[in-house]
Amino acid sequence: MLDLTGPFGIHHLPYGVFTYGGVAPRVGVRVGDAVLDLGGAEAAGLIDAGGAFGQPTLNAHLAQGRAAWTAARDRITTLLRDESATLDGLVYPLTDVTLLLPFAVGDYVDFYSSEHHAANVGALFRPGSPPLLPNWKHLPIGYHGRAGTVVVSGTDVVRPCGQRKAPTADVPTYGPTGRLDIEAEVGFVVGAGTALGDRVGVADFADHVFGVVLVNDWSARDIQAWEYQPLGPFLGKSFATSVSAWVTPLAALEAAWVPAPAQDPAVLPYLSGGGHRGLDLALEVEWNGTVVSRPPFAPMYWTPAQQLAHLTVNGASVRPGDLYASGTVSGPERDQTGSFLELTWGGAEPVTVGDAKRTFLEDGDTVTVRATAPGRDGAVLALGEVTATVLPSR
């Protein structure tokens, strides 16, 4: 039953939290199309994570830090490779389990690190002005999102209501958004935290970040366009943010690192050095069964290490379970954009979705974001998908 090759094979081993037939939520690791019950394995004495795997979130293990993450991954690899007979009764088919939000989200920050996305949104939201604002190449722009509305893949998303004002209207009106959109992003899950006042340098990224999830930062473009100045996104993005149920450990992505794009002008010293590398992840956006876009992550201008360095440069602490997302992943081509705002150029150029022509999301639509990554020994890993269906407003 355990498939050690393939996109969820021995080189991957992403973590999640699951329940099965009424058992208490516990940590598991995905192996092929099955889940290995790590909580059960720990209770049976097969692995020792200080009790962390019996917990209903990954946070206890996240807090243990890099040495413990490595030890657990090594032990799981040994169990699967050499001692699989001991795992009888601890493996469940994926179809039989319910996957839960894998970690309790502490603080949630969303960056804006794709130059192509930022230039596209600038052109659409601020026509006539330079597409990038003057600060954009000096620091990774971000905002604090709403941690409490981060939901696991598979959770329906209710169309939000709010204030919208058409450019030609004098006053705003209230009602369901007419421009519901997605943002395909990559999220970084903080493991080891810091003390208030401390900074995380770019070189210390891997001591603090445990792993990666896929993110869909749902966005109501009409609400956003009316509310966002001067303090940034608020209700247009806080109604729901979806994350994949599986957290891919950074340790699985060692073969995925690639040099990040050169930065010009030169960045300040606290943002430079540390290897300056990005991840060669290939994203795919599927809308009602049609793949409409393939955003590449490698060209992102700001790296995850720079984002964490910037996020903590003022001494703001991070905690286990904090989540920071890359920002919308858009490549240079139209069919590489990570939002429908860009894909349909502000709704002006509909795309073909199945038999229909579409601009923004309609009730009943389902969007799934997937990604692959190079793994060790030529393996191709599939990150856990993030999917959701839009429900009518209430």
Ligand X SMILES: O=C(O)/C=C/C(=O)CC(=O)CC(=O)O
**One-letter amino acid for residue 189 of the chain:** V
Distance (Å) of CA 381 to CA 14, 124, 127, 326: 10, 35, 40, 20
Spatial separation of the C-alpha atoms in residues 124 and 343, rounded to whole Å: 12
Is 15 annotated as a binding-site member? no
185 is in an annotated binding site: yes
Touching ligand X, residues 285-344 (CB under 6 A): 327-328
Nearer to Mg ion among residue 54 and residue 236 (C-beta): 236
Is 117 one of the catalytic residues?
A: yes
Binding partner at 287 among ligand X, Mg ion, Ca ion, none, C-beta below 5 to 8 Å by kind:
none
User: CB under 5 to 8 A by kind: which of Mg ion, Ca ion, ligand X, none does 241 bind?
Assistant: Mg ion
From the list ligand X, Mg ion, Ca ion, none, pick the one residue 228 interacts with, judged by a Cβ distance below 5 to 8 Å according to partner type. ligand X
Could you tell me the smallest distance in angstroms from the CB atom of residue 111 to Ca ion? 8
Does residue 345 bind ligand X (CB under 6 A)? Answer: no
Contact 371, 384 (CB under 8 A): no
Nearer to ligand X, 20 or 125 (CB): 125
Q: CA 38, CA 91: separation in Å to the nearest integer?
A: 9
Cβ proximity to Mg ion, 194 vs 241, nearer residue: 241
Single out the catalytic residue among 117, 138, 144, 276: 117
- Residue 237 annotated as binding? yes
Binding mask 161-190 for ligand X (x = CB under 6 A): ----------------------x-------
* Neighbouring residues of 178: CB distance < 8 A, sequence distance ≥ 6: 164, 222, 360
328 among the known binding-site residues? yes
Q: What is the CB neighbour count within 10 angstroms for residue 190? A: 27
Query: 301-317 as b/e, with b when 16 or more CB fall inside 10 Å?
Result: bbbbbbbbbbbbeeeeb
Burial 269-280 (b: 16+ CB within 10 A, else e): eebeebebbbbb
Q: Which residues face 164 on adjacent strands?
A: 173
Instruction: Report the alpha-carbon distance of residue 255 to residue 279 in Å, rounded.
Output: 9
Q: Segment near ligand X (CB under 6 A), from 24-32, 76-84, 115-123, 171-179?
A: 115-123
Q: Rounded CA gap, 205 and 214, in Å?
A: 19
Q: Looking at residues 103 to 142 of the shown chain, list those that interact with Ca ion (rule: CB under 5 A).
A: 110
Site size toward Ca ion (CB under 5 A) is 3
Name the segment binding Mg ion (CB under 5 A); options: 2-10, 100-108, 237-245, 366-374.
Answer: 237-245
Question: What's the CA gap between 374 and 378, in Å, rounded?
Answer: 7
Residue with tokens 């939520």: 25
Evaluated on CA atoms 170, 171, 174, 178, the torsion sign reads positive
What is the nearest approach in angstroms of ligand X to the Cβ of residue 294?
17
| Cβ at position 29, least distance to ligand X in Å | 30
Nearer to Ca ion, 217 or 365 (CB): 217
Residues that bind Mg ion (CB under 5 A): 217, 237, 241
Binding positions for Mg(2+) are: 217, 237, 241
Residues that bind ligand X (CB under 6 A): 110, 112, 117, 121-122, 125, 183, 217, 228, 233, 237, 327-328
